[in-house]
Structure 1
Amino acid sequence: MAGDPRYAPGQVKDGRVICGAKNKKAEPCGLSPAAGATRCGRHGGNSPQAKKAAERRVEEQRARDALERGVRTLGLPVDIDPGKALLDEIHWTAGHVQWLREKVQDLADEELVWGRTQTENGIGPQGAVDVTTEKAGPSVWYELYSKERDHLAKVCALALRAGIEERKVKLAESQGALVAEAIRRILAALNLTPAQQAMVPEIVPQQLRLLAGGNAL
């Protein structure tokens, strides 16, 4: 019967796409069409026209998937006022600075100037390798904190030179503090492993900068 949904092309049944065309038993065909096709080879799926249409659908789906990945990763261009963009950058950077300041304050004195710099594990030319290298140097938390402080000073100076009122800059900084508090609570609730915690100082500021539409560290 024309228009009968039981025989619809490319329908999904039990979690997979099936041909659906009426077979000799007057039942929907349960065979799976080729990628992008709506009918199996027995019911017209191998015709030149059907193959061409299937290729077009596959390419269109690839394009949609690529667009979705791009939006998730970097986002789409946004029409934004330059002054607002500058204030948004201050918001996020102020949050980064406050959060990193808390991490630095939690460090023991020796952790600020001494720590692990390299770890090697596995099998080398001479057998098993298990080497940890430590040396004196600023903590990575302190280095990131210093970089974010420098960046905050630069964007605030740009905002002031651009004529943005000092009151708005201070408001942006206070809002950034709320962001830092939210980050701290989220990470505390996740109960991260030591390995995951070691990745936090690199990943969190970078992803927040991307979310804000700015540049990664």
Structure 2
Amino acid sequence: AVDGAAGNDADPDPSLAFLHDMEVVEARRRVRLLASILLLISGLNVVTDFVELVNFVFKGTMAELLRLVFRLCVNVLGVYVGTNGVKASQTLNEQAVFKYVWGLVVVGMLYISNDLWMLITVATAAPDGPEAPVPEPTSAHSDYEYSPNAGWDDDVGADPNQPDAISTDDAAEFTPSQATLVNQACMSLLISVMIWTLCFYRAFALRRAVRERIPR
């Protein structure tokens, strides 16, 4: 009887033995971390997009509204996939891992497509035209010129009654050029592709580890 009990202690349940495999432990830890980050970022984006959506209902073009609705739906899907990832890393259920992996692929492709669309939009935007000539002030005591169509034109300088005001010429210096915007969009797309590639790799590594070690 003692030998039988010792034999039972020496042979653990084979259905739980794979949980102590180092590859499975490392894979589930990494997936849990990445899924938690996805859940956090997507949740914050959902709140931000919802606030912007409320504002766009009262003002904003239809194209901007549709793009915001699309982004909100993607972030809601990101929250769902992130929740599935955390659950799959805890239970190591094969179906849950499978659902998380392919849900992550869909969300990642949508995020990358959004960044790619932004890059194309910025790259194909018409460059800024030549600056309009600056009108001369009407008198030596005024930096403003009145136009019947445009009202007071303050392009010539700052309001003398507001010493802390910044002239429009100074503000124009801080406007980024189209080349700068394209470079920023390219960098954002590159970083997005690198991050999502890492997430895909870790998710498929967990799926492979679970499929190879789970008892059939």
Instruction: Quickly name the TM-score band, shorter chain normalised.
Output: under 0.3
TM-score scaled by length of structure 1: 0.26
TM-score scaled by length of structure 2: 0.26
Higher-RCO chain (CA-CA 8 Å, sequence separation at least 6) = 2
